[in-house]
Amino acid sequence: NITYPFQDIDELLVTVPPGTGTADVTVASEAGTATMSKAFNYLPISDYSSTDSFTYVLYDAQRHWVYLSAGDHIDVFSADTRQFLTPIIPPTVSGTKQLRGLALTPDHSKLLAANWSDLSVAIIDPDNPASAKAVQVVPSGLPNSPGPYAVAATSTGEAFVSTGSADSAPIYVLDLSTLQVTTPFNSLFGIGGSDLWSTASGDYILMREALWSAATNEWTFGSTSRYMPNMGHA
């Protein structure tokens, strides 16, 4: 039960007592009392320890696996058996590994791993990791050595890759069939270190205030409806 002077308050911080199952939530104020039936649900939580340090986590809803970037490998945790499975060792171009962002293609057939120090993205079949391949996405010799930082898969068979550079950097586009890399959005904006988020269908990619649509191959900015047309489809 919560009793509080609720004038001009839209947030509350409360201490939740221990319990199990569901519980009613009752809010009381000078204006009256209201009860939400079974509005709070207690869930059991279990910890599964690891000696690794993780930089990114991704859930595979098809296999019920959790992928975790762990420096030079990807840990795989089964939500069904509640145990760690055989880790994935992504291939490289130059032999170095500093794994960052992960992504799944819309059909869940490919796991993509951004390798910051290798300037590459690994394309992995989670059911057959030995067949994985690495593609250099970022050219060598760039100032400050920016590497792949975040990756997102589209419904058009491509992967968008942003870098860990604080300087102006393009969005690299990797064709997952031909393995060709282009920069059709080279003059888009300089936020190379930004995370990329895709919808499950891969029809939309979100990066800060910008939204990319597969239907138009264009980026829309914020609520102003400004957009940057593509410079040729990758």
Amino acid of residue 116: W
Residue 168: CB atoms within 10 Å: 12
Task: Say how far apart CA 88 and CA 123 lie, in whole Å.
Answer: 12
**pTM check: above 0.85:** no
- 8 A C-beta contact, residue 3 and residue 33: no
SS3 of residue 129 by DSSP: helix
Task: Say how far apart CA 234 and CA 159 lie, in whole Å.
Answer: 10
DSSP structure string for 206-224: EETTEEEETTTTEEEETTT
What pLDDT is recorded for position 224?
Answer: 45
CB contact burial 2-32 (16+ within 10 A = b; e otherwise): eeeeeeeeeeeeeeeeeeeeebeeebeeeee
Q: What is the pLDDT along the chain (234 residues), one digit of tens a residue?
A: 554 554 555 566 778 888 899 999 888 877 888 899 999 999 888 889 899 999 999 999 999 999 999 999 999 999 999 999 999 999 999 999 999 999 999 999 999 999 999 999 999 999 999 999 999 999 987 766 689 999 999 999 999 999 876 556 788 999 999 999 998 876 555 555 578 899 999 999 998 778 899 999 988 876 544 434 433 332
What pLDDT is recorded for position 118?
Answer: 96
What pLDDT is recorded for position 75?
Answer: 97
